[in-house]
Structure 1
Amino acid sequence: MVVRPGMSGWGYALMTVSMVLFWALIILGVIALVRYLARGDRSGDQAAAPRATPEQVLAERFARGEIDEQDYLRRRDQLR
């Protein structure tokens, strides 16, 4: 084995540990970036979707059968 001046066993060990830490940080950074971008897409879809107006919510309830026609007409008139 050839021993070079200035590089001992500790030098090789430190170089190995630092290389493992370097690649671990790179991999964790990529994972964090992917998760951030995936989360941003979902929140962007919700923000871009327009909110339903009270009349639309009332019409949806009527369409689902939660309220009858008289109740729908009475509440719609109150909203207007």
Structure 2
Amino acid sequence: MTVIMVLFWGLVIAGLVALVHYLTSTHRSHQAGLPPPSAESRQGSRRAEDLLAERFARGEIDEDEYKRRLALLREHR
């Protein structure tokens, strides 16, 4: 009985953590009003660089990844 109770609460907590992660990371880009990928413009490229800088600042990507992606964005302007 105790094992079932521990498993139940473990699943409830894991579900809540997964839900919070989904709601905070997945919908953040949609709420920011990103232009569609087909809208290639100088402003769109600038926005992509800003988003990349934000990801670097939050620690989602390391410095090497940031520099590599930034160079790739600037190469395809």
TM-score, L = length of structure 1:
0.44
Higher relative contact order (CA 8 A, sep 6+): 2
TM-score, L = length of structure 2:
0.46
